[in-house]
Structure 1
Amino acid sequence: MMTSAVGGCRCAFLLTVIYQQTMKKTFLLSLYLLFTLAFAKAKGSSQETDSILILKNVNIVEVSSGKILKDKSITIKNGNIAKIGRFPNKLKNARILDLNGQYVIPGLIDTHIHVTAPHKNSIEKTYSHLEYYLKHGITSARDAGGDGGALLQAQTEIRKGNRMGTDVFFSSFMAGDWYYNRGQNIRKDPYSSWEQRLMPGDDLDKAMAEAKACGATGVKLYHSFDKDFLADVTVAAKRHQLKVWGHTMLYPAKPVEVVNAGMEVLSHVSMLETMRTDSLFYRRTTPMAYKDSIIAGIDIIPFCKAMKKHHAILDATLCVSEAKDPWVFALLKRIHEQGVKISTGTDQIVDLNRSYPRLIDELDYFVNKCGFTPAEALYSATQISAEVIGQEKNRGSIKVGKRADIVILEENPLLDITSLKNIYMVVQRGIIIKK
Structure 2
Amino acid sequence: MPRTHVLCQQLFTGLEDNVRRDQTLVIEDGVLSYTGPAAEAPAQAPGDEVIDAGQHFVMPGLIDVHTHLVFGNAKSEEDIDLHVSPEFRALRGLFFTQHVLAAGYTSVVVPGDAGQCSISVRNAIDAGMFTGPHIAASSNVIANRQSLNDWFPSWVGTPEYFTGRLCATREAQIAEIRRQAKDGVDVIKIAMDGTHRRDNGEHIAAFTEDETRAMVDEVHRLGKKVAVHAYGREAVLYAARAGVDVIFHAFFLDEACIEAILESGSHLAPTFTMLANNVEFAEDYEASTRSGYAEMQRRVIDIGCRNLRRAHEAGVPFMTGSDSGFAITPYGEWHAREIEILVDWLGFTPAEALRAATSVSAKMLPASRRVGALEVGRQADFILVEGSPLDDVRILQERDRIRGVFLGGRRVESRVPGYDPNRVSDFNTVKWSELHTRARAMSLGKRSATGNPLQDM
Contact 2:64 2:322 in 1 (8 A): yes
Instruction: Kindly provide the amino acid, as one letter, of the partner of residue 310 in structure 1.
Output: S
Mean Cα displacement is larger for which, 346-355 or 110-119?
A: 346-355
Counterpart for residue 115 of structure 1: 69
Q: How does 1:163-242 map to 2 (within 5 A)?
A: 163-172=130-139, 173-179=141-147, 185-191=154-160, 195-202=164-171, 205-223=174-192, 224-242=206-224
What do the CA deviations read for 1:193-215 (whole angstroms, capped 9, x no partner)?
A: 98533233416553322111222
User: 1:416 deviation in Å?
Assistant: 1.3
Counterpart among 332, 347, 351 of residue 371 in structure 1 = 347
User: 1:393 deviation in Å?
Assistant: 7.5
Instruction: Kindly provide the amino acid, as one letter, of the partner of residue 79 in structure 1.
Output: G
Counterpart for residue 424 of structure 1: 403
Counterpart for residue 433 of structure 2: none
Percent identical pairs in the alignment equals: 22
Instruction: Kindly provide the amino acid, as one letter, of the partner of residue 200 in structure 1.
Output: T
Counterpart for residue 82 of structure 1: 33
What do the CA deviations read for 1:278-305 (whole angstroms, capped 9, x no partner)?
A: xxxxxxxxxxxxxxxxxxxxxx322111
Contact 1:108 1:137 in 2 (8 A): yes
Counterpart among 14, 35, 47 of residue 63 in structure 1 = 14
Secondary structure at the aligned position of 2:322 is classed as coil
Distance 1:77 1:352, change over 3 A: farther
Instruction: Kindly provide the amino acid, as one letter, of the partner of residue 430 in structure 1.
Output: G
User: 1:429 deviation in Å?
Assistant: 1.7
Query: 2: CA distance between counterparts of 1:423 and 1:307?
Result: 35
Query: 1: CA distance between counterparts of 2:21 and 2:257?
Result: 40
Query: 2: CA distance between counterparts of 1:116 and 1:183?
Result: 20
Query: 2: CA distance between counterparts of 1:181 and 1:351?
Result: 21
Contact 2:102 2:332 in 1 (8 A): no
Secondary structure at the aligned position of 1:234 is classed as helix
Distance 1:64 1:334, change over 3 A: same
Count of aligned pairs: 358
User: 1:256 deviation in Å?
Assistant: 1.5
Counterpart among 314, 322, 325 of residue 349 in structure 1 = 325
Counterpart for residue 243 of structure 2: 262
Q: How does 1:245-324 map to 2 (within 5 A)?
A: 245-249=227-231, 253-270=234-251, 272=252, 300-322=254-276, 323=279, 324=297
User: 1:352 deviation in Å?
Assistant: 12
Distance 1:187 1:378, change over 3 A: same
Q: How does 1:133-148 map to 2 (within 5 A)?
A: 133-148=100-115
Residue 333 of structure 1 pairs with residue 309 of structure 2: yes
Instruction: Kindly provide the amino acid, as one letter, of the partner of residue 238 in structure 1.
Output: H
Query: 1: CA distance between counterparts of 2:322 and 2:13?
Result: 24
User: 1:58 deviation in Å?
Assistant: 3.5
Mean Cα displacement is larger for which, 180-189 or 319-328?
A: 180-189
User: 1:109 deviation in Å?
Assistant: 0.5
Contact 1:181 1:187 in 2 (8 A): no
Instruction: Kindly provide the amino acid, as one letter, of the partner of residue 344 in structure 2.
Output: N
What do the CA deviations read for 1:378-412 (whole angstroms, capped 9, x no partner)?
A: 01001111112344972111101101110111222
Distance 1:254 1:100, change over 3 A: closer
Residue 158 of structure 1 pairs with residue 125 of structure 2: yes
Distance 1:164 1:190, change over 3 A: same
Contact 2:64 2:335 in 1 (8 A): yes
Distance 1:416 1:184, change over 3 A: closer
Contact 2:114 2:162 in 1 (8 A): no
Instruction: Kindly provide the amino acid, as one letter, of the partner of residue 63 in structure 1.
Output: G
Contact 1:191 1:197 in 2 (8 A): no
Counterpart among 373, 380, 404 of residue 404 in structure 1 = 380
Instruction: Kindly provide the amino acid, as one letter, of the partner of residue 340 in structure 2.
Output: D
Residue 53 of structure 1 pairs with residue 4 of structure 2: yes
Residue 362 of structure 1 pairs with residue 338 of structure 2: yes
RMSD: 2.8
Contact 1:129 1:350 in 2 (8 A): no
Counterpart for residue 285 of structure 2: none
Which structure has the bigger radius of gyration? 2
Unaligned runs of 5+ in 2: 72-80, 193-205, 280-296, 415-457
Query: 2: CA distance between counterparts of 1:329 and 1:235?
Result: 31
What do the CA deviations read for 1:121-175 (whole angstroms, capped 9, x no partner)?
A: 4434212221111111100001111134221221112122221222111223211
Query: 1: CA distance between counterparts of 2:332 and 2:174?
Result: 42
Distance 1:148 1:385, change over 3 A: farther
Which contiguous aligned blocks of 4+ residues in structure 1 show a shift greater than 6 angstroms? 180-184, 350-355
User: 1:261 deviation in Å?
Assistant: 2.4
Counterpart for residue 131 of structure 1: 98
